[in-house]
Amino acid sequence: MAEAIYDVIVIGTSQGGRFLPLDLAKAGKKVALVERDHLGGVCVNTGCTPTKTMVASARIAHQARRGAEYGVRTGPVSVDLAAVRDRKRAMVAGARENYASRLATEGLDVIEGEGRFTGPKTVEVALRDGGTQEIGAPVIVIDTGTRPKPLTISGAQNVPVLDSTSIMELGTLPEHLIILGGGYIGLEFGQMFRRFGSEVTIVQTGPRLVMREDDDISDEVAAILRDDGITVLTSATPEKVEEADGGRVRLTVHTPDGKRQIEGSHLLAAIGRVPNTESLTPAAADIRLSDNGFIEVNEHLETSVPGVYAMGDVKGGPAFTHLSYDDYRILHANLLNGEKASTRDRIVPYTVFIDPQLGRVGMTERQAREQNRSVRVAKLPMSAVVRALETGETRGFMKAVIDARTQQILGATVLGVEGGEIMTIIQVAMLGKLPYTAMADAIFTHPLLAEGLNGLFTTLDA
């Protein structure tokens, strides 16, 4: 018999898990919130908040070096990485404190420790201060998130390997940072550290960077990074890593042209993330997992066990904070209001915070054609946008995919200055089911970046 019985147990505190227990408690439920580490989850502690804070520092350094292009004399620019790190730490600490202050809510018990299932509706918590506590509830929500995938190539256990968390704690600038992985995380850190002053090499196993995007987008991203002085290697499979002279690392990769060795001062593994499910012992509750260890859920976020739900990254799929927040909205509606809110057909946007940003929503051209849709494609270089010219930010382009029959916007990608913000305007049009002509004919303020949408939607191919 469980020592403490609650109405709801929430395990983990990501973007969704931060808000749901508060709402449940305020509604009169007796709630236990279990957290083994820092409150706030990945986003606040090791994801969005710290990385975008550091990206901002990198952009300032980049813009300062470009001062002469604008007639501004700045002199030599250098980066104090320890100061950048301290600014990041302060931002994270403030976000943690802000959330912690909200938890003093009647009916909500915060239990600091690591939870594991001992049955379908019972959880044993290994308390952070020692000992264990058993709790139970008819409703349990799992929100334990993910962690960086460890590097397992030959020699990795014998050399220092950074991940997306530990690299943000460096106090001195790497001389040469080698990054394994050409996805969003690898690209953001690659450009960031190049702008801080490091030599950077990105090693991508696949034939292109950001493989989720269309080929033309991937090619333009690679061109932008190379323009920033980053070495980009694609179709390069890491085989082994070893220590080199002076505490450096030597990476051997297999390329279409044969083996190649790369020597650097630091190695970052940005090869994906894995779910935090092992310590939960989900088998003890008969909770079904995918082959990759993610928790399987239906469209209402319910697991294979009735009354047990999962939200956020731990359930697999796109790992975005805003998607976790939408999971929260679904569970709030269903658990508190008795609704049947669903994940079906939701439009999920995202932004890669390289500079210029890569914002995307909906289908790519490739996805639309794979579905045998009749499509038209609009494309406009940022050099054709007046505001981009005026600000000297002309790299990249906008692209939209249109259903030729209905004139509906199926998807859009904006690789350009404030690309995420511009993409969001298109997303709102999609939510409102506006035809593309509404964007082509709209009156946008001159000279905003959004004004480029007029031009974009008048460039459709036949």
What are residue 233's DSSP bridge partners? 203
* Rg of the chain over all Cα atoms, to the nearest angstrom: 24
Report, in this order, helix, strand and coil percent for the chain, each rounded to 5. Answer: 35, 25, 35
Residue with token string 């990054």: 179
Contacts of 267 (CB under 8 A, 6+ apart): 159, 160, 161, 162, 177, 178, 180, 241, 249, 251
CA 169 – CA 192 distance, rounded (Å): 14
Cβ within 8 Å of residue 246, ≥6 positions away = none
Contact 6, 57 (CB under 8 A): no
Q: Is the dihedral of CA 361, 363, 366, 367 positive or negative?
A: positive
The residues, ordered by sequence, that sit 6+ positions from 144 with a Cβ below 8 Å of its Cβ are 11, 12, 275, 276, 277, 280, 314
**Cβ atoms of residues 149 and 161 within 8 Å:** no
Looking at residue 416, its amino acid is G
Catalytic residue among 62, 176, 322, 446: 446
Closest CA to 216 of 430, 389, 360: 360
Q: How far apart are CA 63 and CA 41, in angstroms?
A: 32
With H, G, I as helix, E, B as strand and everything else as coil, classify residue 309: strand
Task: Supply the DSSP symbol for 210.
Answer: S
Beta bridge partners of 148: 273
Identify residue 261 by its one-letter amino acid code: Q
Distance, first Cα to last Cα, the chain: 69
3-class DSSP assignment, residue 350:
strand
Q: Following CA atoms 40, 41, 47, 48 in sequence, which dihedral angle do they give, to the nearest 10 degrees?
A: -40
User: Is there a contact between 112 and 104 (Cβ–Cβ < 8 Å)?
Assistant: no
DSSP letters of 235-250?
A: S-EEEEEEE-GGG-EE
Question: How far apart are the C-alpha atoms of 346 and 174, rounded to whole Å?
Answer: 41
254 given a catalytic annotation:
no
Catalytic residues: 446
